[in-house]
Amino acid sequence: MPGYTLTIFDCDGVLVDSEPAANRVMVAMLREIGFEITLADCMARFVGKSMKTVQAEVIAEAGAIFPPGWPEVIRARTIETFKLEQIEAIPGIHGVVSAHQRSGRSYCVASSGRIEKMQATLGGTGLLPLFADVLFSATMVGRGKPAPDLFLHAAQTMGHPPATCVVIEDSLPGVQAAVAAGMRVYAYTAAPYVDAAAYKALGAEVFSDMAVLPGLLGL
C-alpha cells in the first residue's frame, strides 16, 4: 500500500474481544433505569459509541432518567467485569502487530473508550506493552465517533496527514468516522453484530480474518 504510513486501530472488537462482556454490563444497567434492550440489539446499536452518546440517545428515545454519574458507574462496572472475566485478544492480532513492527509502519489505537478501559483490556491480553504510548481516547476530543475528530487528532499527534492513514474498525460509527476523516478504512466483520453490507456501502473494505490483514495493508 504505497503512500500509507500510519495504521489506526480501534480497540474493542479489533484488538480485544471485549464487546460481549461490556455490552452485558450495559444491558443490565439500562434495564435498571427501565430501558429494556436485548444483548443483540445493544451490540448492534451501541458498539463503537461513547457512554455520553449512548446516554443521550436513550434519553431522546425513552425519556429515561439516569442517576448522577451513570457513565462513570458503568465504566467502573465494566472494568471490574474485565478483571473477573478473561478477555482474549482477537485471534491473529498479535501477528498483525508483529508485521507492523517488522515493516516499520507506524500504528496507534483510537477508541471511544477511556484510557483506563484500554489499559484494562489490553493489559489482560498482553497487548498493552505494544500500544502503551500510542493510546487515543474520545475523551481527548470534542466529539466522539461517528465524528472524525478522534481519528484526526490521532493522526495529527502521530505526525501523519489523514490521506496517509488507514483505519481498522469493526463498528458503524467507527467506519463513518474514518470515512469522514478522509482515511481509508478496513472493517473487521467476524462478529455477529456487524453489518458488512452497510460498511461496504460507506466505502469500507471488509475482511473477516485477521490473518489476511497484513497482506491487505501491504506489510
Which ranges of 141-192 does DSSP label H, i.e. alpha helix?
149-158, 172-180
Query: Contact 167/213 with Cβ under 8 angstroms?
Result: no
- With beta carbons less than 8 A apart as the criterion, state whether 111 and 167 touch: no
Provide the edge-to-edge strand list for the sheet that holds 106-111: 135-137, 106-111, 6-9, 165-169, 184-188, 205-207
Give Cα 153 to chain centroid, integer Å. Answer: 15
In the annotation, is 12 catalytic? yes
Q: What's the one-letter identity of residue 57?
A: E
- Tell me, what DSSP letter sits at residue 195? -
Size (the chain), residues: 219
Q: Per the residue annotation, which of 12, 17, 149, 170 is the catalytic one?
A: 12
CA–CA separation, 163 and 95 (whole Å): 25
Choosing from 10, 17, 149, 170, the catalytic residue is 10
Q: Is 195 a catalytic site residue? A: no
**Quick count: other Cβ atoms within 10 Å of Cβ 116?**
11
Q: Within 10 A of 153 (CB to CB), how many other CB atoms are there?
A: 18
Show which residues are catalytic. Answer: 10, 12
